Amino acid sequence: MTDMRKVTAFIAALSSIALFSAAYPAYAAPIMLKGDIDRDDRVSMSDMVILGSSLHGRYGLNETQTIAADINGDGSIDSADLSALQDIILGGRNKFPIGTWIGDCGGAKRYFSFDSGTVSIVDPNRESSEFFTVEEDNDLMVFRASGTEMSAFITWDSELSFVLKWSNGSTETFRYFTDVMINMSEILTGRWVTSQGRTFEISGLSGKLTDKNGDISRFEYAPDGENMTFRFGSTENNTTGRKVKNDSMHFTVTWSDGTAERFTRQEIEERGGVTYVNGILIANKTYSLPSDYDPGGILPEAQAAFDEMMADAAKEGIYLSIVSGFRSYTYQGQLYSGYVNRDGKAAADTYSARAGHSEHQTGLAMDINNASSSFNNTKEAKWLAANCVKYGFILRYPQGKEDITGYMYESWHVRYLGRELAKEVSDSGLTLEEFLCIDSKYKS
Ligand SMILES: [Zn+2]
């Protein structure tokens, strides 16, 4: 490709930026490349010309140019630097990156998995994965996907690092990561707590581990299909395992020593005094609702799901009705005080929630037909237990899980979660607390 054609391609790529700006990294300040004497963020023949001129005394280098020109870092600018510069330029000619490289543009990381003539770009921040064909001519790389094009100049820093100068002016540094291709589905960005009491905070393919003693270490995480490696600084500290996805919030890793560790996604967020775990509104003995939290009744989606369930049950001769749906903070407080007066605090706490701690205040919980143990084992209770999940409900306080949920078995109390999530929780055989690795205990 002649220089003129190169310029034409570059301008063509520039004009397509508006169409495809998502594929370009946000602008990041240029970095200092060894050999980039004219500071255009690439190492090219023009740098050779300047260095050659300065060695012949025809050009005086300024301070930053001198730093860039001392390629072998020996403190002086001489013919050895010129020869090293030539090696960089010639070495980069038609050298195509293969494997997965971490692109870093002002701290935002994404992953480029190159194969011969193609690349898939995985961006955990955008949760996107894009596929391009790549043509390389000398140091210009042109990336094409259907109807779009972008281009960048590549400069090799070393065998394991290079820089792309994108046609929108941003520079992105790359370092070698692994020889396997990365898929979006292998990115585990988020906070995970494990069955060994550890917390992994993962961002893209790196992150922070807090062990059960509170000690922190940093890692890079290299996925390869179902195999995964956590790299803790040095090779001796690598940990390798096989990952099996359990559901949208869990996976289990079997480490190379045979031990298994279950990972649970756990993003706890508080909005206006209301706690959401992985986006799920939680009201139990640990997490309370503010006194003014009032959705005004059973939420429409939960009511619609109940109506559908009720209609289907009726076709089988099973009649369901809601005996208690939404309960306000104040009303729950009155109920609880009544039970305390009758049975004492310790007993009341096993079956009634304190104000702010009742799931009924969420507008997502309901008691069906008869809120007492005489409902247990009725044909309605059996139908409800077997079928409620299809409509997006779970039996919230199952038998034998009193220590975990904080409440005695309630065959009549269902919680609306939506169909997909209800199915996942039900299939797991866990209570909502176990599913999210949270507890349900009053602080006092
Ligand atoms: Zn209830």
Per-residue pLDDT of 208-233, as tens digits, reads: 999 999 999 999 888 877 788 888 87
Given 202, 235, 265, which residue is the final one in a domain?
A: 265
CA of 11 to the centre of ligand 1 (A): 66
Higher pLDDT residue, 236 or 281?
281
Whether 41 and 91 map to the same domain: the answer is yes
Higher pLDDT residue, 17 or 332?
332
- Long-range (24+ apart) CB contacts under 8 A made by 158-161 are none
> Does a structural domain hold residue 443?
no
Given 235, 265, 295, which residue is the final one in a domain?
A: 265
Distance of CA 280 to the CA centre of its chain: 17
pTM for this one? 0.73
Given 215, 233, 265, which residue is the final one in a domain?
A: 265
Whether 338 and 426 map to the same domain: the answer is yes
410 has catalytic annotation: yes
For the chain, the domain total comes to 3
Give the list of residues 6+ apart from residue 80 with CB closer than 8 angstroms, or none: 72, 74
> Does a structural domain hold residue 441?
no
Whether 195 and 91 map to the same domain: the answer is no
Whether 425 and 355 map to the same domain: the answer is yes
- Which phi and psi angles does 158 have, rounded to 5°? -160, -175
| CA 353-359-360 angle, 5° bins | 95
Whether 330 and 432 map to the same domain: the answer is yes
> Does a structural domain hold residue 214?
yes
Give the structural domain span for 244. 188-265
Task: Work out the pLDDT band at 23, boundaries 50, 70, 90.
Answer: low
Ligand 1 ion: residues within 5 Å (CB): 367, 413
CA of 366 to the centre of ligand 1 (A): 6
Whether 277 and 261 map to the same domain: the answer is no
CA of 317 to the centre of ligand 1 (A): 24
**How high is the pLDDT of residue 28?**
62
Per-residue pLDDT of 342-358, as tens digits, reads: 999 999 999 999 999 99
Whether 31 and 115 map to the same domain: the answer is yes
Per-residue pLDDT of 230-247, as tens digits, reads: 888 766 678 889 989 899
Whether 258 and 392 map to the same domain: the answer is no
Q: Look up the CATH number of the domain holding residue 284.
A: 3.30.1380.10
